[in-house]
């Protein structure tokens, strides 16, 4: 069961997932797999996805290659509009360095199993409760994992994209650690305070 998300869920408190795929059977299958835990909407193309999207959508499952408006274009429009949802690209397109600049939170290569999909959606929904730095860290480490799983070891050593992602992840980890250290210092000062 997904955790509670403060104040942005629909009236029943059920998280909302938008499954977008031009393969209607696949989008409908995702909806069936998720409907016990989530309110699932489906869209069968990019324009339809954007018309279905609103502030109540928590997670978007987005096919990367669709006729008309691609998943990448839909993703750009979601981010430009400022929607506070997590986006997983679900695609048969093998990832390469172009994913570095894409604003997704997770990348799953088709075919996916029911368990993989449910786990990914639960994880993405949980991330909504995290601060921006931690959300970005998770998205960056997801991109690293995707590239490392697709690139042969010798290409991993020479990949500029992978190197940039590792540097960015390290910087985000440092920021996170600094915040944790500040919290520890504040907690220690509070315990030592004489009230």
3-state secondary structure the chain: CCCCCCCCCCCCCCCEEEEECCCHHHHHHHHHHHCCCCEEEEECCHHHHHHHCCCCEEEEEEECCCCCCCHHHHHHHHHHHCCCCEEEEEECCCCCHHHHHCCCCEEEECCCCHHHHHHHHHHHHHHCCCCHHHHHHHHHHHHHHHHHHHCCHHHHHHCHHHHHHHHHHHHHHHHHHHHHHHHHHHHHHHHHCCC
pLDDT at 160: 86
pLDDT at 3: 45
* CATH architecture, domain defined by 1-129: 3-Layer(aba) Sandwich (3.40)
What distance in Å separates the CA atoms of residue 66 and residue 20, rounded to the nearest whole number?
A: 9
Q: In this predicted model, what pLDDT tens digit does every residue of 131-148 receive, in sequence order?
A: 888 888 888 888 888 888
Q: In this predicted model, what pLDDT tens digit does every residue of 100-123 receive, in sequence order?
A: 888 899 999 899 999 999 999 999
The pTM is what?
Answer: 0.73
Contacts of 34 (CB under 8 A, 6+ apart): 17, 19, 40, 117, 118, 121
- Whether the bond into 111 is cis, omega within 30 of 0: yes
Domain boundaries defined on the chain: 1-129, 130-195
pLDDT at 186: 59
Each residue's pLDDT expressed in tens, for the chain with a length of 195 residues: 554 444 444 445 789 999 999 999 999 999 999 999 999 999 999 999 999 999 999 999 999 999 999 999 999 999 999 998 999 999 887 777 777 888 899 999 899 999 999 999 999 998 888 888 888 888 888 888 888 888 888 888 888 888 888 898 898 888 888 767 766 665 665 566 555
Surface-to-core class of residue 92, CB atoms within 10 Å of its CB (0-12 exposed, 13-18 middle, 19+ buried): exposed
């Amino acid at each position: 069961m997904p955790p509670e998300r403060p104040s942005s869920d629909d009236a029943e408190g059920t998280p909302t997932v938008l499954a977008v795929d031009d393969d209607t059977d696949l989008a409908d299958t995702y909806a069936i797999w998720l409907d016990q835990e989530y309110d699932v909407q489906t869209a069968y193309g990019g324009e339809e996805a954007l018309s279905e999207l609103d502030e109540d959508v928590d997670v978007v499952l987005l096919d990367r290659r669709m006729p008309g408006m691609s998943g990448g274009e839909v993703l750009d429009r979601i981010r430009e509009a400022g929607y506070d949802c997590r986006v997983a690209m679900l695609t048969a397109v093998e990832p390469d360095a172009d994913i570095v600049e894409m604003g997704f939170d997770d990348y799953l290569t088709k075919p996916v199993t029911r368990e993989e999909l449910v786990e990914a959606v639960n994880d993405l929904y949980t991330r909504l409760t995290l601060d921006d730095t931690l959300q970005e860290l998770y998205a960056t480490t997801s991109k690293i994992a995707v590239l490392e799983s697709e690139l042969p070891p010798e290409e991993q050593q020479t990949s500029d994209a992978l190197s940039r992602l590792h540097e960015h992840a390290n910087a985000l980890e440092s920021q996170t650690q600094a915040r944790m250290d500040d919290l520890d210092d504040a907690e220690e000062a509070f315990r030592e305070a004489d009230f």
